[in-house]
Amino acid sequence: MPIHNTNVNTDINTDMTTPSADYAPSEHPIPPHPDPAHALPAPQRLPASVRIAVIVIAVIILAGIIYRVIGGLTDERHLANQTRLDAIPTVDVISPIVSGNTSEIALPGNTQAFDDTPIYARTSGYLKQWFVDIGQHVSKGELMATIETPELDEQLQVAQADLKSAQADLNLAITTSNRFTNLLKLDSVSQQETDVAVSGAAAKRAAVEAAEANVRRLSQLQSFEKIYAPYSGIVTQRNTDIGDLINAGSATTTNTAKELFHIASVNQLRVFVAVPEVYAPDIHNGDTATLTLDEYPDQVFTGIVTRNSGSIDPSSRTLNVEVDVNNHNGKLLPGAYVFVHFKIPVQSREPSIPSDALIFRAQGLQVGVVRDGHVHLQTITIGKDNGKTVEVATGLSPTDKVILSPSDSLAEGQPVNIATQPAVMQ
């Protein structure tokens, strides 16, 4: 049998069972270990200050977690609200303006030289020399080219010889007629012979006149060897050169004649404008019109409505109007594309909006109007189309806020924000 030290066992048991001053026994005390030699030491309680510090730290950590959770929820709500606000589009709006006593329309037109003439040869031959070239200014009567016409020269010489022969025959016929007339008084010749002599003289006189006419014709053709400018202007084309074979006449399907020069008078230009039928009653001869060109953005040219066709073209439903413009400075060129501005009196005061505010859909012509922060698609009727602006006959009032450049996705009742600075209608 093992010998146990009673004293040691007693001391250990005493330490295990005797509570210290700071230890309060629990309701269920821990039973002693069967083997006191291998028993664990009794657990020690943490000091009160440490426990308090641990509790404070735990509270702080819990408060931080709660703060982060609450802050995250607040940020999510703020982000959701901001996303919802950002999803609402911001639009520019404008209020329709009421037109005054007159309005302006701008219509496209083309400038043309006041006189524009192709120059053809009137006689056939070879080009001997030319004196003017493209872009050169010429005066009326200035020599432009000369043509060699050897055949015509020979024909003229033959005609002149025929004329001399006819004149000689006429002189003999006149002498014979006078002689027979005197002999008839002496009854030396018969009346028949006298009449034949007199008629022969008359026929010879007609032959002389025909020969003279032929000589004049050929002389006139010979004068066309020299080509002169019909009026003062500028040479816009030269289609010939020295030695070219020249055929008389103008170019047709049966003629090989070609244009030698092209000359245009540019001191004054004509501008032809197709005016829509709705504005035709407001265009009158003598009215002033202004012209603008892309190449002269800051300059305005003034013209006068000179004439109009007086009828509506059934194919285009337009009135052809001519505007004459002074061009002594030569800035305007024939064939230029211009915009012609007419002042049109307004019969009724109608609100005007920019053309880019219009919405074209299957429901008809509409505009977007902002009312109480939401879109209302308003159907309208156009009175007059002025190009950049349109006059609205029905559907709008001057107090409406019309959306500029509406998107294709704009829908009825859609919430929108209005830009801080409203657009200004030009």
Q: Which of 77-81, 192-196, 348-352 has the lowest mean pLDDT?
A: 77-81
Instruction: Give the residue with greater pLDDT, 383 vs 208.
Output: 208
Put simply, whether the predicted model's pTM sits higher than 0.75 gets the answer: no
Place of tokens 């509409």: 366
Alpha-carbon dihedral sign for residues 228, 233, 235, 236 = negative
Return the CA Rg of the chain.
Answer: 56
- Rounded CA gap, 348 and 15, in Å? 117
- Rounded CA gap, 310 and 328, in Å? 29
Place of tokens 């600075």: 421
Query: b/e per residue, 390-421, with b = 16+ CB within 10 A?
Result: bbbeebbeeebbbbbebeeebeeebebeeeee
CA dihedral 131→133→138→140, nearest 10 degrees, is 60
34 pLDDT band (50/70/90 cuts)?
Answer: low
Which residues lie closer than 8 Å to 240 by C-beta, 6 or more apart?
A: 127, 130, 145, 246, 258, 260, 261
- Give the pLDDT confidence score for residue 1 in this predicted structure: 42
pLDDT digits (tens, 9 = 90+) for 266-305: 999 999 999 998 888 889 999 999 999 988 888 999 999 9
- Give the pLDDT confidence score for residue 4 in this predicted structure: 44
136 pLDDT band (50/70/90 cuts)?
Answer: very high
Q: Which of 37-46, 334-343, 399-408 has the lowest mean pLDDT?
A: 37-46
pLDDT digits (tens, 9 = 90+) for 100-125: 556 788 899 999 999 999 999 888 89
Helix segments in 2-149, DSSP class H: 6-17, 48-86
